[in-house]
Amino acid sequence: MSTSTTVGLRSDRGPILLALMLATALIALDATILATAVPSIVDDLGGLTQFPWLFSVYLLAQAVSVPVYAKLADTVGRKPVILFGIGLFLVGSILCGFAWSMGSLIAMRALQGLGAGAVLPLTTTIAGDIYTVAERAKTQGYIASVWAVSSVVGPTLGGVFSQFGSWRWIFFLNIPFCLLAAGMLWRNYDESVERRKHHIDYAGAVVLTVSLTLLILAVLEGGQAWAWGSWQSIGSFVVGGALLVVFGVIERRAAEPILPLEVFSRRLIVATCLISIGVGAVLVGLTSYVPTFLERSTGVTPIVAGLAVAALTIGWPISAAQSGRLYLRIGFRPTALIGLVVAALGALALWLASATPTVWATAGSAFVVGLGLGLVATPTLIAAQASVPWSERAVVTGTNMFMRSVGSAVGVAIFGAVANAIIAANGGPSSAAAVQAGSTAVFLAVFITAVVAILAGLLMPAVRAEGLEHDAAEAAAAEPAPA
C-alpha cells in the first residue's frame, strides 16, 4: 500500500499542513528575528565579543542533530520526534527569555537549536508522507513561503520588541505558537508504526554528533575566532575527520545504523546532496553580503537592504509552488537544471550590477536567484523522497537538509576568506570602496558556485516522477507500512 495514503487521515491533511507551516514559522522567525535585537541584548547582558555565538551555536546544534532525529523518525515514527522537537524548542525559548548573561543566553540558544534540528526536517518529511509526488511541489511551496514571510516579518518584529518593549519577548512570542503547532499535530496527525525491538545505534549517534560538531565548528570559527593554521583549527579538523572514519566503521557493523551508508551508493541521492551543498552556499553568500554591500555602497538603511535580500526568499516559493507542473511534464533533472541555470544567471547579473550598485538591480538579481533555487531545492528534495520507502524517507530528507547546512558553513568560510582578503588589500573595513570590492568578489564566487552546482545537476539520473513513486511504493510494499 502506498505510504502517501496510509500515513495520517487524508481529510485531515489541511490542518496537518497548517500545523507544519506553523512549526516551520517558529524556526524561520527565530533565524531572522534576533539580528535586529543584538544591540539591545548586548546593552542589557554585555558580552559584545560573544554575541556571534548566538547564531553559530544555534546553527551548529541544529545541523549536527538533524541526522539523529531523522533516523529516529524512521524508527519510532514522525509524530513523537517532531513533538519532542517542538517541546525542546519551547523550553529553550522560555529559558532564553529569562537569560541572565550572554553565556546563559548562548547555552539556551543551543537548546533551541537542538529542538529546531527535529522540527525542520520532520515538517518536510511529513508533507512527503501525506501528499503524493504530484501534490508535493505545491505543499513545499507553501512551506517555503513561510520563510519568505519570516524574512520580512522577523527583523521587523525584532526591531519593534527591542525599541518599544524588551528583547526577551522575542523568545516569549514562541510560547503560544509552539503550543498551537503541537496541539494541532497531536489532534490531527495519526500514524502507526510497527512495534518491534529496535537496536538503537547509540555509538554511531554519539560519534557522528561529536565529529560533525568539530568539523562544523572548525569551518564556522576558522579565520574568525582562531586562525586557520592554529592548533584549534587543525585539531578540530583532524579529530573530526578521524571520528568520521570511525563512524563509517561503526555504521558498517550496526544492526540499525543511524545513517545507512548504502544511501550514498545511489546516484540520485548523491547528486541531490551535492546540489543541496551548492544551494546552501549560494544562499549564505547572498544573505550574508547583500545587506552590507548595499548599506556601504549606496548608503541605504538596514531595513531597505534587508528587503533586497527578502526578494530572494519571495522568488523561491513562487517558483517552488509551480515546479510540480514542470517536473511532472519534463522530469526532475531537466527541472533542476533549468533552476540552476536561472540561479547562475541571477548571480551573474548581481556580480555585473555590483560595479554600479543600485537597490533595484540588486533586489532584482536576488529575486531571479530565488526563482532559480525554487526550481532546484524543491524538485531535488521531492525526487530523493520519492525514490525511497517510508522507512528511509526521514533519513534521506534529513541528509538533504544537513548537506544544505554543510554548504552554508563551508560557504561562510570560503566567502569570508575571499571578502576579508579583498577588503584588507583595499583599505580595510572602514573603507566603503573596500567593502564594495569584497562583496563584489563574493558575488563572483557565488556565480562560480552556481556553475559548479550545474555540474552536480548533470549527475542526476533521468527519472520521471511516476517512475519514482512506483519504485517507492514497491519498496514500501515489502515492509509493514504505517496505517
d(CA 4, CA 21): 19
Residue 147 to residues 142, 344, 365, 374, 375, Cα–Cα distance (Å): 9, 22, 19, 12, 16
2-16, 42-56, 256-270: segment of lowest average pLDDT: 2-16
For residue 465, the model assigns a pLDDT of 57
d(CA 446, CA 448): 5
Indicate whether 154 and 56 sit together in one domain.
yes
Indicate whether 251 and 278 sit together in one domain.
no
- Check pLDDT > 60 for residue 323: yes
Amino acid identity of 164? F
- Check pLDDT > 90 for residue 342: yes
How many helices, marked H, and strands, marked E, lie in the chain? Answer: 17, 0
Indicate whether 273 and 151 sit together in one domain.
no
Identify the band that residue 444 occupies on the pLDDT scale cut at 50, 70 and 90. Answer: very high
Indicate whether 207 and 310 sit together in one domain.
no
Indicate whether 112 and 169 sit together in one domain.
yes
d(CA 282, CA 401): 14
For residue 256, the model assigns a pLDDT of 75
Indicate whether 136 and 37 sit together in one domain.
yes
- pLDDT tens-digit readout, 152-200: 677 677 777 766 778 888 889 889 999 999 999 998 888 766 666 667 7
| CATH assignment of the domain containing 395 | 1.20.1250.20
Indicate whether 210 and 268 sit together in one domain.
no
Indicate whether 247 and 130 sit together in one domain.
no
Indicate whether 221 and 342 sit together in one domain.
no
Amino acid identity of 214? L
Range of the domain at 205: 199-255
Identify the band that residue 305 occupies on the pLDDT scale cut at 50, 70 and 90. Answer: confident
- Check pLDDT > 50 for residue 308: yes
Smallest Cα–Cα separation from 82: which of 55, 118, 109?
118
Q: What is the mean pLDDT of residues 300-312?
A: 76
Q: What is the mean pLDDT of residues 214-239?
A: 82
- pLDDT tens-digit readout, 381-402: 888 888 888 778 888 888 888 8
Domain final position from 234, 255, 276 = 255
Indicate whether 242 and 385 sit together in one domain.
no
Indicate whether 66 and 180 sit together in one domain.
yes
Highest averaged pLDDT of the listed ranges 2-6, 299-303, 407-411: 407-411
Q: Enter the pTM of the model.
A: 0.80
- Check pLDDT > 50 for residue 5: no
Number of domains in the chain: 3
464, burial (CB in 10 Å: exposed 0-12, middle 13-18, buried 19+)? middle
- pLDDT tens-digit readout, 233-259: 899 999 999 998 998 898 888 777 777
- pLDDT tens-digit readout, 34-79: 766 776 787 788 776 676 678 778 888 888 888 888 888 888 888 9
